[in-house]
Structure 1
Amino acid sequence: MQANDVMTQNVITVEPDTQVRDIARLLLENRISAVPVVNAEGRVLGIVSEGDLMRRVENGTDQHKSWWLKSIFAGANDAGSYVKSHGRKASEIMTPNPLTIEETMDLGDVARLLEKHHIKRVPVVREHKLVGIVSRANLLQGLASAGPQPSESPADDRAIRDTIIREIEDKAGVRIGGINVVVENGNVELWGLVDAKEQRMAAQVAAENTNGVKRVENNLNLAPRGVGGF
């Protein structure tokens, strides 16, 4: 399997000038833990994660911070740390120039890349433009779905996956950002979080009605309120 077999498509992104408060709200509302920062051409400039936001302390509000946050930032007095902790825009607090991968990279190579660089996710690019993102959770989903490998991976699996994703997003009324679809030899597995039981069933029906699908395993769970995603 390759990166484009498990990657999350329709990635939620921010622009370099997006305000920190808006980024935090975006992470919470979409139950995700990081967003790529892209320019007008769709090129990946950086990534803002929950960790980057935790390093930020607003001027004049230290008295409202918990003691452990104060202790973390007590020694952060160099220029770089100052920008990270006081910046108000994505471009100021992001991790710049992140690693990216091509959509055809083998999942084994993706896993080794994440392990080697101690990162949780990696943007997927096509001709230098963002087309998806692969997280550790996506890799586990691919591993859980993988059966005996055929001599040649069926090209139809990717067409089936794209069709299901479009159906869920455009017609089923379900936000695709919290869902991942994995297809292996026509067998479909749905992973991620949805807001209601009706959405869980709608995603399953969308998959079952797609030509070429042999079986659907619905692993979607209801999202606890206030709990972030991966």
Structure 2
Amino acid sequence: MDLASYLPLVGIPVVVAGFALRFNPLLVVTAAGLSTGLAVGMDLGALLETFGEKFLNSRQLATFILILPVIGLLERYGLKERAQQWIAGIRSATTARILMLYFVVRELTAALGLINLGGHAQTVRPLLAPMAEGAAANQLGELPPVLRDRIRAHAAACDNIAVFFGEDIFIAFGAVLLMDAFLKENGIANIEPLHIGLWAIPTAVSALIIHMARLARLDARLQSDIAAWRAQQEAAA
């Protein structure tokens, strides 16, 4: 095999080296794309034009870049603190109940195709996790870092699991269309995206029930862990 056939792979070691050295991921990917394009003989102007075209065609990326600074400003001016104060005023709110409510809403909206309505950057970090922490602190008092991290992990898991199982119900979702195309290419007829979406409903309901049961034990586990942590603190004192 000729050496020129390996030139399109030149971006792979760039990505590996960049991530190994912990450089900015966006810069690493951009450098990999530029090095690959130049290695295969693309003109620099055409290469930059291709970058710009793909960027403009990616509506979701452009939206994310516009939303991210807004979220950063809201966090800087106390969005997390306001969310925690608001939750502290609701006596019936607990960490598990807040996460349960978010899970249900997130899965339903994902099933309707509103996948970008929530997410880690725009919802979990600035709102959901602080609200869940605020509810725990309101009931249990001061929280050690390990419990705060656990609550944040549960908040992130709620978003991941809910959107993962909910989005397959939406018949225009890319994965559903991919499965439909794969089945037809392999001679499996009479399968439409609507059928795939309908058969995804039992899986989504099962995921909902299993995760609700998991979250139902969260409040009790937090109480036992905070009691053990306080006993340890008193013994150390």
TM-score range normalised by the length of the shorter chain: under 0.3
When you count helix as a share of all residues, which structure comes out higher? Answer: 2
When you count strand as a share of all residues, which structure comes out higher? Answer: 1
TM-score (norm 1): 0.27
Higher relative contact order (CA 8 A, sep 6+): 1
TM-score (norm 2): 0.26
